[in-house]
Amino acid sequence: MLRLTLAQMRRSTGRLAAAGVAILIGTAFVAATLLAGGVLTRTTNDAIAARFADSDLVMGGPQAFAPQDADAIRAVDGVAAAEPVTATSVALEAGSRTVYQMAVPAPSDPRFDPLEVVEGALPSGPGQIAVPQDVADRLGLALGDEVANVRYVWDETDPEADAEEVRDELTVVGTLDDPYGAYAQMGGAAVVSAQDAATWAEEEGDDGTAPAVMVALDDDASLEAVRADLLAASPQDATAQTPDEYAQEAAAAQTGGEEVFTYVILAFAAVALVVAALVIANTFQVLVAQRTRTLALLRAVGANRRQLARSVLTEATILGVLSSLAGLVVGAGLVQVALLVARGADLGVPLPTTVTITPAVVLVPVLVGTFVTVLASFAPARAATRVSPLEALRPADAPRAGSGAGRVRLVLSLLLTVGGFALLAGGVALGMSGSPDVGLLAGVLGGALSFVGVVLGAVFWLPRVVGVVGRLLARTGPTARLATANTLRNPRRTTATSTALLIGVTLVAMMSTGAASARTSLSAALDDQYPVDVMVIGNGADGTVPQDVVAAVTAVEGVDDVVPATDLYAELPDGWGLAPTAVDPTEAAGVVRSPDTIAGLEPGTLLVPEGELQNAGLRVGETTRLTGPDGQTLDVVVALGSSETSLLTTQDARALAPDATTTRLWVSVDDPSDTDVVAAVQDAVAESGTPVEVVGAVVERAAMQSVVDTMLAVVVGLLGVAVVIALIGVANTLSLSVIERRRESATLRAIGLSRRRLRWLLAMEGMLIAGVGAVLGIALGVVYGWAGAATALSLLGDVSFAVPWRDVAIVLVVALAAGFLASVVPGRTAARTSPVAALAVD
Amino acid sequence: MDTTVYRPLDPADPADAAGTPAAGPPAVRARSLRKTYGTGEAAVHALDGVDVDFEQGHFTAIMGPSGSGKSTLMHLLAGLDTATGGHAFVGGTEVTGLGDDDLTRLRRDRVGFVFQSFNLLPMFTAKQNITLPVELAGRTVDTAWLDTLVRTLGLGARLEHRPSELSGGQQQRVAIARALIAQPDVVFADEPTGNLDSRSGAEVLSFLRRSVRELSRTIIMVTHDPTAAAYADRVVLIADGRIAGDIADPTPESVLAGLDALRTLELPDGDRSDKAVRA
């Protein structure tokens, strides 16, 4: 039976290879994620371990080590040297420059020194310092130069006294390199004498304890024996670990961040694998259908059902193992290449030269890949057992994958879809009513359930959608009608192929819709916080912004409009002070990002932000009296404002404070994403010499948006893998159709279909399958994206529902182009079919 | 209307090999048509210089034992395959030497095919199958002609059925209608009864004959069945890649006699002609 399985695999090499690529990509994704996670962990570990240089053991634990603890450690038999891990911060001043730098004491044993001396030597006594090469360059220091450590020392006996500035003049005796990144996380370290380090630490109020002690052993000492003795001689709960052990534990305690990162990426890999499973299931279904006659023949000559099922599963296992191994190699290769590139780019972190292959890194992708493949082949294997021996005797018709689906599936998918969407709606409602955490939980669960329901039920409705789209297309000519009819011949296969794409597209559309909504909502929130793109605020004694500054700002290229504003101080009748800004509403309308900012601003009105309203004890609609700095009064009606400060009109301000000058400029820019304008404004203002401050909301807005955009790009990139796999599925389905329809293609050629139109026929089939999957995926994704945004962003205030039209268009075009591309190779095969083949009789 | 009678053929006489033309130019012609598979020692001459004319408005059968070259001859005449040498004409157009696009257009507009295994598109109804060639050509269906075809072929009640709901004979009748819908110069039928029982086969053959008589079509049929060949107006015998005989107004008996003559004259060992004699 195995020989037969292998023979059948050889006959279907092409099919299997295409399915294998899907699994290969999925496992490569998993392997690369695990390996990259490993590299990250190792880089962190190495950086921590590097600090301990060549020490044999590191004493650590919850308790710090006092100097006498270190002495006790030194006294242990077999210990050659021991040194507490300490560091102190110094401010090195040379000329007019100051560099803040960590400094460590010169090690008592060379085994404790992770640094390399570039020039000179390590300090041998007080008053000497060795500095990192880059610090020496920044401060312009050479060997023998003087540099001061500037410290502020408090007199503990006199708490009222100011700190006293102390300058320790130090001689540079060496420059250092940190080849292992031992101090990379602290921005490098200078080395000073142990005495100096101790003195400075003491003066800063340091009690002289250390979190860890490095231990170097005698050459002939046994690590395990000394370890036991050390623990006995140390404070309770102390640990004695090798530097690697210590680093692993420290890194794990420190972050856990890398692991979260790895899990998140693995979730994306899981999506890719689910899509790959669909492609595999599809391929095997067709393989079984193609082999119906062979299978029936086997049944007729005595093979039992179990043997047939086993044959299919064996085939899947072989395919799974081979593709997963290939995926592992590809994944490892990618990470290795990335590592080489990163090392070449010199990121300032010492990266390992090669990836570390651990059993987990090998086993997890291979097992997962194989498992997914075998799992995906279960349904086809069952189909194989249903082939009756009689079918060997029937004439060979075009193989048909089973169509239609069970009632159980219909009910299950309906329950999941309806229930899931109900839960999702509930989540949104919860989120909108102020409990976004519970809402999100319900929303994610509901979204996931409803999506599973939609995918399960796709076989019921997706072919109908294809039919409707096809009927619209069919008006364009007979080729389109043929394409539609062909696509609907195998509803289940079309559904599976289209669904594979739908999954990826839904997720991509969801993320980009969510991001677009987040961007718009954030933007709205930012509009409230920063009503204008750039503000120029007077910073002098009276805060006036003189006319020449106004002119200078107006002249900056990229500045659209400049509106002067005045900051006032006014008191309410109860003595509460307000600091409203006064602008001309008409002028201001031209510069504010959101018209809400100045909505309702008119003479006689004071716009007060919601928070301020309560503090000042004001109610919307009431009339209150403001008293200006010189005693003038003004009656105003209180209205609710949306900006961060209270607002008045310039007219009213004049009544309140006739002498007030312009203290603030509201500036709008031509292009809100152009952050260079702020720098240009700053330069223009600096030239005028007036003390003013420039605040660029536009910079913050752009930064915020770039965070959202970057995250979106990463997520979409990761999901893109799933889309690529799905497109392989489209190509696979098309080429299967071509093989099955060989005679039919030949007939069409014989009755007058040109090669070009035959290729076009397949292209239309590909685009129909891909296009429908993409359109439905986009629709679903937009709904999910909105639901997610409504739930999660409701805290920000009003959520705007945005459709990322550009992204939607890109996804659609990519799907159609890919559907087209997927048809190229199958189309060439079909077009090569000679019309003579139509005459052939099996 | 055809006065040709069977007579022994002298292959050395070109006039004989060219057949006897009736009134009007021939619908299909072959001149020194050759087809060789392989090269050198292994070369097989499937067609070895064939000259033959097929008259318009006639139902002609090409007969011969398996491997005689009858199918190859049809492929070359219909422009389905490329010739090694010589010329083939459909009407005034030389088929040999046409590019793929021109051949496609020729097949679409001027040639019809009927296949042994029907080759209907399973997802289309009978009517959609029939009208497909016209639609591919981007023309509108001539409904009067469609009605005539449907009536002649007795398909009226079956037009909205899919192939899977039709019997073999009905499917083949749909295929004949499809071959005739574009009013082609000639219809090539390749063993059209090969997949049918004898009653359906007889039915299909009489429909083919009616198409020629009542609708003035030209049909060239390849077969190895003497009973089928007897439905034709004329039988062209082929053996070893050459025209080996010509029977006018054939009967099953005269065809068998012709085949026997072939066997004794051309193929003394007779090992390849078993199929032809079987029927």
Condensed to tens digits (0 to 9), the pLDDT of residues A659-695 reads 888 888 888 888 777 777 877 887 777 777 677 777 7
- Identity of residue A667: V
CB A554 within 8 A of CB A669: no
Which residue has tokens 């007729």? A300
Q: What residue ranges of chain B have pLDDT lower than 50?
A: 1-22, 266-279
Q: Does A752 touch chain B (CB under 8 A)?
A: yes
Lowest mean pLDDT among A170-179, A319-328, A523-532, B111-120: A523-532
* A96: its two tokens: 């007019």
Q: Measured between beta carbons, which residues in chain A are less than 8 angstroms from residue B132?
A: 478, 751
In total, how many domains does chain B have? 1
**Pairing state between β A623-627 and A633-641:** antiparallel
In degrees, rounded to 5, the angle at the alpha carbon of residue B166 between the alpha carbons of residues B163 and B171 is 70
Alpha-carbon torsion angle A177, A180, A184, A189, nearest 10? -40
Lowest mean pLDDT among A344-353, A456-465, A515-524: A344-353
Alpha-carbon gap: A744 to the closest alpha carbon of chain B (Å): 7
Q: Does A293 touch chain B (CB under 8 A)?
A: no
* A486–B123 CB contact, under 8 Å: yes
End-to-end alpha carbon distance in chain A: 26
**Pairing state between β B219-223 and B186-190:** parallel
Mean pLDDT of A408-418: 89
Crossing angle between the packed helical segments B168-180 and B126-136, to the nearest 10 degrees = 20
**Pairing state between β A692-696 and A534-538:** antiparallel
Mean pLDDT of A408-415: 88
A375's CB contacts (< 8 A; 6+ apart) are: A277
Report the residue count for chain B: 279
Query: For A579-605, how does the pLDDT look when each residue is reduced to its tens digit (9 = 90+)?
Result: 888 888 888 888 887 777 788 888 888
CB B175 within 8 A of CB B136: no
- Find the helix or strand (DSSP H, E) in which B94 lies: strand B93-94
* A747–B119 CB contact, under 8 Å: yes
Inform me whether the pLDDT recorded for A822 exceeds 90. Answer: no
Query: For A108-140, how does the pLDDT look when each residue is reduced to its tens digit (9 = 90+)?
Result: 888 888 888 888 888 988 889 998 888 888 888
Q: Where are the domains of chain A?
A: 1-55+258-402, 56-254, 415-456, 459-530+699-842, 540-690
ipTM for the assembly: 0.75
Q: Does A838 touch chain B (CB under 8 A)?
A: yes
Inform me whether the pLDDT recorded for A270 exceeds 50. Answer: yes
Tell me what pLDDT residue A241 has: 85
What is the percentage of chain A residues whose pLDDT exceeds 70? Answer: 93
Q: Does A494 touch chain B (CB under 8 A)?
A: no
Tell me what pLDDT residue A422 has: 92
- CA separation for the pair A228, A224 (Å, rounded): 6
- Find the helix or strand (DSSP H, E) in which A696 lies: strand A692-696
- Identity of residue A236: Q
Q: Give the 3-state secondary structure of residue B195.
A: coil
DSSP string across B40-85: GGG-EEEEEEEEEEE-TT-EEEEE--TTSSHHHHHHHHTTSS--SE
Mean pLDDT of the residues in chain A: 82
- pTM > 0.90: no
Residue A118: count other Cβ atoms within 10 Å of its Cβ: 13
Which residue has tokens 């408005």? B57
Query: For A21-64, how does the pLDDT look when each residue is reduced to its tens digit (9 = 90+)?
Result: 888 888 888 888 888 877 877 777 777 788 888 888 888 887 88
pLDDT-based confidence at A255, cuts 50/70/90? low
Q: Measured between beta carbons, which residues in chain B are less than 8 angstroms from residue A759?
A: none
CB A388 within 8 A of CB A296: yes
* B123–A477 CB contact, under 8 Å: no
* B107–A485 CB contact, under 8 Å: no
Count the alpha carbons within 13 Å of A761 in the hemisphere toward its beta carbon. Answer: 28
- CA separation for the pair A690, A539 (Å, rounded): 8
- CA separation for the pair A391, A389 (Å, rounded): 5
- CA separation for the pair A303, A292 (Å, rounded): 14
The verdict on residue B27 lying in a domain is no
Q: Does B81 touch chain A (CB under 8 A)?
A: yes
- Find the helix or strand (DSSP H, E) in which A485 lies: helix A478-489
Distance of CA A38 to the CA centre of its chain: 18
Which residue has tokens 């948006």? A705
Tell me what pLDDT residue A330 has: 92
- CA separation for the pair B279, B271 (Å, rounded): 16
* B117–A754 CB contact, under 8 Å: no
* CB neighbour burial string for A423-443, b if at least 16 within 10 angstroms, e if fewer: bbbbbbebbeeebbeebbbbb
User: Which residues 464-483 on chain A approach chain B with CB closer than 8 angstroms?
Assistant: 477-479, 481-482
Query: For A144-201, how does the pLDDT look when each residue is reduced to its tens digit (9 = 90+)?
Result: 888 888 887 776 676 666 677 788 889 999 998 887 777 876 778 889 988 888 888 8
Q: Does A485 touch chain B (CB under 8 A)?
A: yes
Tell me what pLDDT residue A256 has: 56
Mean pLDDT of A87-106: 81
If you compute the radius of gyration of chain A from its CA atoms, what whole number of angstroms results?
Answer: 37
Strand partners, B188: B113, B220
> Domain containing B157 — which CATH number?
3.40.50.300
The verdict on residue B29 lying in a domain is no
Domain holding B212, by residue range, is 56-69+101-278
Alpha-carbon gap: B72 to the closest alpha carbon of chain A (Å): 10
Alpha-carbon gap: A728 to the closest alpha carbon of chain B (Å): 26
Tell me what pLDDT residue A161 has: 67
User: Which of A485, A743, A834 faces B119 most closely, judged by CB atoms?
Assistant: A743
A774's CB contacts (< 8 A; 6+ apart) are: A501, A502, A505, A811, A812, A815, A816
Query: For A217-236, how does the pLDDT look when each residue is reduced to its tens digit (9 = 90+)?
Result: 888 888 888 888 888 888 77
* B115–A747 CB contact, under 8 Å: yes
The verdict on residue B10 lying in a domain is no
Inform me whether the pLDDT recorded for A402 exceeds 60. Answer: no
pLDDT: which is higher, A814 or A99: A814
pLDDT-based confidence at A796, cuts 50/70/90? low
Distance of CA A5 to the CA centre of its chain: 44
Test mutation, B106, B119, B141, chain A, max A CBs within 10 A:
B119
A213's CB contacts (< 8 A; 6+ apart) are: A58, A59, A65, A69, A70, A73, A82, A83, A84, A85
pLDDT: which is higher, A761 or A95: A761
Test mutation, A481, A494, A751, chain B, max B CBs within 10 A:
A751
CB A702 within 8 A of CB A673: yes
CB B95 within 8 A of CB A835: no
Alpha-carbon torsion angle A696, A697, A699, A705, nearest 10? 180
User: Which of A749, A751, A757 faces B132 most closely, judged by CB atoms?
Assistant: A751
CB B105 within 8 A of CB B182: no
What is the percentage of chain A residues whose pLDDT exceeds 90? Answer: 6
Mean pLDDT of A327-331: 92
Tell me what pLDDT residue A350 has: 67
Which residue has tokens 């309560």? A614
pLDDT-based confidence at A477, cuts 50/70/90? confident
Test mutation, A482, A487, A756, A839, chain B, max B CBs within 10 A:
A839
- Identity of residue A518: A
Q: Give the 3-state secondary structure of residue B31.
A: strand
Tell me what pLDDT residue A295 has: 80
- Identity of residue A702: A
Q: Does B66 touch chain A (CB under 8 A)?
A: no
Q: In 3D, which of A641, A606, A636 has the Cα closest to residue A531?
A: A641
